[in-house]
Chains A and B, each alone.
Chain A
Amino acid sequence: MSTLEVVTGVLALTGLAVCVVGLGWRVSGVQGRPFRWDVAPAKGSAARGVAYAFTLGMAPWAKESTRRHLLAYVRGILLHLAIFAGLAWLAASPWHAEVPKVVRLLTASVLTAGMAMGLAGFWMRRREPALRQLSTPDDYASLGLVTLFLATAALSAVAAWCLPGLWALSGLMLAYIPFGKLRHFVYFFYTRTFFGLLFGRRGVLESAR
């Protein structure tokens, strides 16, 4: 291993540590807030509501908004799938040489598509007046970090010499997660659960009636 690889590897691991500790702090912040189960007698099924919230409720056809903004929604889905793929690749990257070439090429394709979705995100944020008006430096930094992460991940999948770049950028991105907008994924699991509980218990969702 070269010095550069060691230094950037340590950077990535440090970023991961900051991310884990930071997210732990965020999660404890949520868990530390009061939560009361609804005591009114249920009309529908809370469990079926939660199950719907995380499955069919996420389907592109499930909501009027996602049907209307199909491209934007699919862009978001692809971006997130690519991020998961990128993180998986990051975990596997120290064993770059052992990963079959076909898998690396496939991974690079997915990550490149994800990077394109990230770039499209910049375009959409600038195009929509409301989004443009509301966007903060954090929005652009978060999207920029993710897009660069996907770009370096894609490059490193086909060219091992790019690995230090991936590790350095990953360290930066991971360390930033608890402090910027990227932390939203932690809260996603809460809001979807609460969504399912609310509309499920009250018998609003057809699948929970």
Chain B
Amino acid sequence: MARLDANKATLVKDTLGKLIDRKLLASLEVCVRCGICAESCHYYLADPRPEHAPFYRSEQVRRLYRSLFDPIGRHLPWWVGAQRPTEESLAQLAEMAFSTCTLCRRCTLNCPSGCDTAQIMRAMRTVAVAAGLAPEMLVQLADASIAREEHLEDFKEIYLEQVRALEEEVREATGDPQAHIPVDVEGADILYVALSGAHTILPAAILFHEAGSNWTLSMFEASNYGVFLADTARAKRITERIVREAERLRVREVVVTDCGHAYTTLRWEAPNWFGKPFPFQVRSLIELVAGWISDGIITVDPTHNPEPVTYHDSCNLGRNSGLIEEPRTILRAVCQDFREMTPNREHNYCCGGGGGLVATPEWTDLRLKAGGPKAQQVRATGAQVVAASCDNCRIQLGDISEHYALGTRVVGLMELVVKALVPQRAKGHPLEADVA
């Protein structure tokens, strides 16, 4: 076992030490290793090995913590299972934190003590980033997001051209030759933050148009790979781009596309990084659309979606953000045959694609295996269509549909809404502003 050199050892200790707030300390100390959290983890269900149990994983980080911060662990390591870090153990911890935990918090919900294993794994990810042991792909993606703002002028023209090309499809879908996709509009009510690619821009543009919203499209994508790295400095910089844009355009609210981690980040986590609430409201497109349907601002016809549809609760949106009933309001309105998975809502299983796993090709096999419980859940519903409200989940659900031969089609929640949409605006239907 190669011992860490002094600099690295100090770096690890300092990094972990700075992360230990009251919440993390309590989670590090509270576990009695009762073991009943094991089956709450989709990794364990898919492959019931001890190392896939949440308490086992978090115990590995606790051993590091005890060796560095607990007096008993420092002086009598064998008594409490403390383990000083070595090059090998640190690399193993880093791999464990990035590849065998999707930070879904299902184990937290199931722990009798409420131990936040996701926070422990995040702390380990932060240590891994500091020690240069983070997955290269996540680092590159995070840095690319930061670079986009730094070189915005280079991107802007290409981006605007791409958006203009999409407008034709919006006009076709809405039947309105005046329909367009506003970008960089000062004084708009809503700044909509999409993901890279047309699939989260187009449905939203159609729906914003139909609802008569005063909106503008963000120049930046919602995804934040700094969050997957648990690197707050990077994550904050990526978020800052959107915050600055929203402040510059003086919007009343920022609406995040149906993306799990992006919503959780902007809605719940980022205000804490900035130390104050944002001067604008943050909502998910799901909340907006559910409200439009309930208030009769848009009209939908469920017969346009006749196939059996089931819904996968994204862990970030559901368990970590409380967006639980809103997607169901939408699905009951736009589908003829909506079927719940079991378990569902905050108890839903992670699909296996969260925590950045979808973006790290080196762990594809592990990710697909961990998707096994989700595949069983989907199969049990007999649904032909799986609706997802998070892009990472959508990719993973598509992959596991293929891998486990489920024969299901995976669609975004908003695609179903657009398919069920009965355009009314041309007929003088009330606009969102009128109803408000």
Taking Cβ atoms with an 8 Å cutoff, the residues of A that contact B are 29-31, 33-36, 38-41, 43-44, 53, 58, 63-66, 68-69, 72-73, 76, 124, 128-131, 133-139, 179-181, 183-184, 186-188, 190-192, 194-196, 198-199, 202-205, 209
Contacts and interface: CB of A to CB of B under 8 A. Distances in A.
Given A29-B25, A35-B21, A131 B33 contact: yes
Interface majority SS (helix, strand, loop, mixed), chain A: helix
Contacts of A205: 346
A-B pairs, top 10 by smallest CB distance, nearest first, are A195-B114, A203-B322, A130-B50, A190-B26, A65-B110, A136-B81, A187-B30, A35-B22, A69-B36, A187-B29
B32 A65 contact: no
Given A184-B29, A187-B26, A130 B79 contact: no
A63 B109 contact: yes
B22 A184 contact: no
B53 interface: yes
Contact of B26 (A36, A136, A191): A191
Interface centre among A53, A130, A209 (most CB of B within 10 A): A130
A138 B37 contact: no
B361 to A, nearest CB: 29
A177 to B, nearest CB: 12
Nearest to A69: B36
A133 B50 contact: yes
B332 interface: no
A136 B268 CA distance: 38
Contacts of A183: 29
Contacts of A204: 318-322, 324, 346
Contacts of A203: 322, 324
Contacts of A40: 267-272, 277, 282
A61 to B, nearest CB: 13
A39 B35 contact: no
Given A30-B26, A58-B112, A64-B347, A135 B33 contact: yes
Interface string B52-76: 0101100100000000000010000
Interface of B: 20-27, 29-40, 50, 53, 55-56, 59, 72, 78-81, 108-116, 267-272, 275-277, 281-282, 318-322, 324-325, 343, 346-347
Given A76-B34, A138-B81, A191-B113, A202 B21 contact: no
Nearest to A142: B32
17 contacts: A35-B23, A39-B271, A39-B275, A40-B277, A65-B36, A69-B35, A73-B36, A128-B35, A130-B35, A130-B55, A136-B80, A181-B32, A191-B30, A191-B115, A194-B23, A199-B109, A202-B268
Contact of B39 (A31, A65, A138, A202): A65
B30 A184 contact: yes
A63 B242 CA distance: 38
A64 B20 contact: no
Given A134-B56, A202-B268, A33 B113 contact: no
A137 B78 contact: yes
B20 A33 contact: yes
A204 B325 CA distance: 10
Contacts of A33: 20-22, 24-25
Contacts of A186: 29
B35 A131 contact: yes
Nearest to B69: A29
A88 B282 CA distance: 51
A16 B225 CA distance: 50
Contact of B272 (A31, A39, A134, A195): A39
B25 A65 contact: no
Contact of B113 (A29, A31, A130, A192): A192
B415 to A, nearest CB: 26
A179 B290 CA distance: 53
Nearest to A38: B272
A33 B112 CA distance: 24
A90 B268 CA distance: 47
Contacts of B59: 134
A144 B389 CA distance: 50
B26 A194 contact: yes
Contact of B343 (A43, A64, A195): A64
Contacts of B55: 130, 134
Given A69-B35, A191-B30, 14 more contacts: A40-B270, A41-B281, A64-B39, A64-B40, A64-B110, A64-B347, A65-B111, A65-B112, A66-B110, A131-B35, A137-B78, A183-B29, A187-B25, A190-B26
A139 B34 CA distance: 11
B41 to A, nearest CB: 10
Nearest to B275: A39
A132 to B, nearest CB: 9
Contacts of B81: 134, 136, 138
B108 A195 contact: yes
Nearest to B39: A68
A83 B20 CA distance: 31
Given A68-B36, A130-B38, A138-B79, A202 B320 contact: yes
